[in-house]
Amino acid sequence: GEDVEQSLFLSVREGDSSVINCTYTDSSSTYLYWYKQEPGAGLQLLTYIFSNMDMKQDQRLTVLLNKKDKHLSLRIADTQTGDSAIYFCAETLYNNNDMRFGAGTRLTVKP
């Protein structure tokens, strides 16, 4: 199975908060990332968190990291239709050259 796991779909109403969850299995993860992919486009880095932090906030985005449970979440406040996209969780490991991605969560925002 995937080393980084995400649910595949999330649907919310415009104006509500969205919470996208991710679990990872390797405790040596150092950085954890959230990328956004709009249809037919490449991945855009949204935010990232270092593993010794438990929260990071950037405007409407809040990242929460529970290192004990190896759980990462991305909360989008006041979700807009333009937030509809696929969101990828990714990790890099200590002294490892690769970035590992989850399968992506497709967020659909309904008006």
Partner 1 sequence: SQTIHQWPATLVQPVGSPLSLECTVEGTSNPNLYWYRQAAGRGLQLLFYSVGIGQISSEVPQNLSASRPQDRQFILSSKKLLLSDSGFYLCAWNVDRINEKLFFGSGTQLSVL
Q: Which of residues 14, 31, 56, 73 is near partner 1 by CB under 8 A? A: 31
DSSP β-bridge partners for residue 64: 55, 73
Q: What is the rounded CA–CA span in Å between residue 8 and residue 24?
A: 15
Closest contact distance (angstroms) between CB of 111 and partner 1 is 25
Taking residues 50 to 79 in sequence order and writing x for each that binds partner 1 by CB under 8 A, - otherwise, the string is: ------------------------------
Q: What is the largest CA-CA distance in the chain?
A: 44
Measured from the CB atom, the residue of 21 and 30 that comes closer to partner 1 is 30
The strand pair at 9-13 and 105-110 is best described as parallel
